[in-house]
Chains A and B, each alone.
Chain A
Amino acid sequence: AQSVAQPEDQVNVAEGNPLTVKCTYSVSGNPYLFWYVQYPNRGLQFLLKYITGDNLVKGSYGFEAEFNKSQTSFHLKKPSALVSDSALYFCAVRDYSGAGSYQLTFGKGTKLSVIP
Chain B
Amino acid sequence: DGGITQSPKYLFRKEGQNVTLSCEQNLNHDAMYWYRQDPGQGLRLIYYSQIVNDFQKGDIAEGYSVSREKKESFPLTVTSAQKNPTAFYLCASSPYTGPNEQYFGPGTRLTVT
| Chain A interface residues toward B at CB < 8 A | 9, 32, 34, 36, 41-46, 49, 51, 90, 94, 97, 100-104, 106-109
Contacts and interface: CB of A to CB of B under 8 A. Distances in A.
A41 B43 contact: no
B107 interface: yes
Interface residues of B, number: 25
A107 B40 CA distance: 10
Interface of B: 1, 4, 6, 33, 40-43, 45, 48, 50, 56, 58, 88, 90, 92, 99, 101-107, 109
Given A49-B101, A100-B50, A103-B58, A42 B42 contact: no
Q: Is the contact region of chain A dominated by helix, strand, or loop, or is it mixed?
A: strand
Contact of A97 (B56, B88, B104): B56
Task: Report, nearest first, the 3 A-B pairs whose CB atoms are least far apart.
Answer: A43-B104, A108-B42, A32-B99
